Structure 1
Amino acid sequence: MQQTALAPVNKTSIRRQMRQMRRQLTAQQQKQASLNLARQIERHHLRFQKRWALYFANDGEISPAVWLKRVADRHHQIYLPVLHPIHHNRLWFLKLDANTRLRKNKYGIFEPDPRTTSRTPAWALNVICFPLVAFDKQGNRLGMGGGYYDRTFAPDRTRIKKPKLVGLAHDFQQLSQLPSEPWDIALHGVATDKAFYRFTKKGLT
């Protein structure tokens, strides 16, 4: 798919169109996208990192399942985002291993049970990967609108330097420009099924 030409003024319409495009992918296309995504990450120096926060794909999101398996095969640590039980629209990160008990959250997505699984502060992770609805050449991102990642990292905006924040998306989710807000958390990069984009103040590198 080619980069779509959406007007960057209406987040609602962008979300609607991008989600529709993701859902139109066949199971085979999603499987291939997951494999290609892993190949792109493999080519990047981040592959040497030991502690990864990943996610279970939902709603047509590109799946990090292939990369998750590679991380597990290397005996590195994997963490999943969990909806904070008290603070609205914030996340915890809980370890995923063979003994992790999973449960469905309010969105129907499986996550580790915080009653039986240890959690780790975000600053202790090396790479935090999360799904995007869209991204642009300047490194701006558009999520589902819940603000989970923005609120999670906002208190540590000036101190959270260790984890690399990497968005994951199908390559067709890249737009020329997106509306941005002052509270949006900046990305270090975006990995897609076709490329790994690193961001500087000047845009894509």
Structure 2
Amino acid sequence: MTVQRCPHKAKIRSGVLALRDAIPVDQRIEKSLALSAHGGRELVVGPNDIVSGFWPIRSEVDVRPLMADLRDQGARLCLPVIVDRETIIFRELLRGAPMVDTGFGTAGPADDAAVLDPTLMLVPLAAFDARGHRVGYGAGLYDRAISRLVARHIRPRLVGIAFDLQEVEGVPDEDHDELLDAVLTESGLRCFAPSI
């Protein structure tokens, strides 16, 4: 499946990612820790929840402290793994399990890890707006993964993960876009849907 790229989204993506890349490393760490503290207090999880996080690349928010906190609250964790150029699955992340290269510069659990269906997804993004629309990295991997889950009657809560400066005035709507239920930044959790 070829993803039709929206030129407006590409422009938004490149502009916002340049801003994010310009955040000094020490500030990025502090902002990531603030985001994780908010998420640990505001995201409600339990033993029936499976949380998909992500291994941070480039200048992304580091959600590993948040993932550890959610695990301590009883949730199981998983990470996305790219199995071909168009598909991601979510493999269980266990303490002490080996990590392997999983594509796009990320790391994740090896092939022998259990494949899980997340109930809460921490979604990386390039930009977001006040309506819960997001600009991803352009490959459509998350939109397709979410669509596959929904087709199986599984609708995970979708929480975008970003820094405040990644908010834009408006993101162009496309039919395949999956709306976020909330976005978590260093300022806290902002809900767009009552399900969070």
**Shorter-chain TM-score: which interval?**
0.7 to 0.9
* Residue number in structure 1 paired with 2:69: 70
Q: Would the alpha carbon gap of residues 198 and 158 (structure 1) be closer, same or farther in structure 2, given more than 3 Å must change?
A: farther
* Residue number in structure 2 paired with 1:108: 105
Q: Please, which of 157, 160, 164 is the counterpart of residue 157 of structure 2?
A: 164
* Residue number in structure 2 paired with 1:52: 51
Where 1:84 maps in the other structure, the secondary structure is strand
- Offset at 1:117? 1.2
- Taking the aligned partners of 2:33 and 2:166, their CA distance within structure 1 comes to 17
Where 1:10 maps in the other structure, the secondary structure is helix
Equivalent positions of 1:150-189 (< 5 A) are 150-157=143-150, 160-189=153-182
Render the CA deviation track for 1:44-75: whole Å, top value 9, x for unaligned: 24244642110111121111122122233445
Report if the CA contact (8 A) 1:81-1:92 is conserved. yes
Q: How many residues align?
A: 189
Matched AA of 1:32: E
* Residue number in structure 1 paired with 2:18: 20
Q: Please, which of 111, 118, 125 is the counterpart of residue 132 of structure 1?
A: 125
Where 1:191 maps in the other structure, the secondary structure is strand
TM-score, normalisation: structure 1: 0.82
- Offset at 1:111? 1.5
Q: Please, which of 145, 148, 156 is the counterpart of residue 141 of structure 2?
A: 148
Q: Please, which of 95, 100, 105 is the counterpart of residue 98 of structure 1?
A: 95
Structure 1 residue 119 and structure 2 residue 115: aligned? Answer: yes
Percentage of pairs with the same residue: 24
Q: Would the alpha carbon gap of residues 156 and 117 (structure 1) be closer, same or farther in structure 2, given more than 3 Å must change?
A: closer
Unaligned runs of 5+ in 2: 1-5
- Taking the aligned partners of 1:117 and 1:40, their CA distance within structure 2 comes to 29
Matched AA of 1:196: L
Q: Please, which of 166, 174, 194 is the counterpart of residue 187 of structure 2?
A: 194
- Taking the aligned partners of 1:200 and 1:164, their CA distance within structure 2 comes to 9
Q: Would the alpha carbon gap of residues 43 and 72 (structure 1) be closer, same or farther in structure 2, given more than 3 Å must change?
A: closer
- Taking the aligned partners of 2:43 and 2:70, their CA distance within structure 1 comes to 14
Report if the CA contact (8 A) 2:36-2:66 is conserved. yes
Unaligned runs of 5+ in 1: 1-7
